[in-house]
Every structure is written in C-alpha cells, then in structure tokens.
Amino acid sequence: MREAKVYSLKLSSAQNMACQRMEAVSGLPPVCLEDLEAGTLTPTEFWRMQLVTIHDISVAVQNIDFPTEERA
C-alpha cells in the first residue's frame, strides 16, 4: 500500500488515506481543514462534513433541470 497524502497531522494515516480516496472519487479536496487544524472540529466531525458536502452537491445536481430534448 502506498503512503497516504498528509492532509493533517491531526488525522491518522488511515484517516488521511480515506481523505485521499474521497478526493480521488469526488474530484474535490477535503473541506473544513482549517477547522480541524484549529481544533473546532474533531476528526469524526471533520469526516462528517465531507459526507454532508458531497451529499449537498449531489442533491443540488439532482435538482438541475436537464432538458430532455435539444432545441434548434
């Protein structure tokens, strides 16, 4: 297994790897790193913010009206 990118020293190696995998799948870097570093979020709360962000983006995209017919 290759070494995980270090997003934060407040995260374990496995947690940093999870962030790296999430970024690879979503194309988005982790959010709220500043809050994690400042101690206002725990690692678990930080991960929850990743899930909430991805969910909110997914809902927003699902609500975009995509025309089913092209108009000339």
* Mean pLDDT of the residues in the chain: 94
Angstrom distance (rounded) from CA 31 to CA 47? 9
Domain boundaries, the chain: 13-62
CA angle 57, 45, 32 (to 5 degrees): 60
Instruction: Report pLDDT digits (tens) over 28-62.
Output: 999 999 999 999 999 999 999 999 999 999 999 99
